[in-house]
Structure 1
């Protein structure tokens, strides 16, 4: 099952998987050195990370 990211404003959705492992990405957060957190998507197998998709100026929320 793919991770589905949805926009709360316009209801656009995207599916996300790791191109290397072919596994659904997992919604997560990353702590930055300044103490803030950013929403990311990571692969549960290879631990690759990307910034979570954005739409309408906000991070899209994730559900599986």
Structure 2
């Protein structure tokens, strides 16, 4: 999975879980006001909100 900033092009890739070393996968969490893109551990260790850059969420290419 790779995240890229749509404004400046900066990116990050190969995010891994610090508990089990698995590569994080892209997912969406539905909340009352809409959807939030997250990166989650495929082994169920947890999830994080997508990285931000230039004041906006970075978009996953996954």
Q: Considering the TM-score relative to the shorter chain, is it more than 0.5?
A: yes
Q: 1:57 and 1:8 mapped to 2: Cα distance?
A: 11
Where structure 1 has 5 or more consecutive residues not aligned to the other structure, the ranges are none
> Would you identify which runs of 4 or more consecutive aligned residues in structure 1 move more than 4 Å?
none
Q: TM-score, normalised by structure 2?
A: 0.81
Other-structure match for 2:40: 42
Other-structure match for 1:56: 54
What displacement does 1:55 show? 0.8
Aligned-residue CA RMSD (Å) = 1.6
Count of aligned pairs between the two proteins: 61
Where structure 2 has 5 or more consecutive residues not aligned to the other structure, the ranges are none
What displacement does 1:37 show? 1.1
Q: TM-score, normalised by structure 1?
A: 0.79
Deviations, residues 23-64 of structure 1 (Å, cap 9, x unaligned): 1111111011x2521111101112511111011122111235
Q: For 1:14, what is the secondary structure of its paired residue?
A: strand
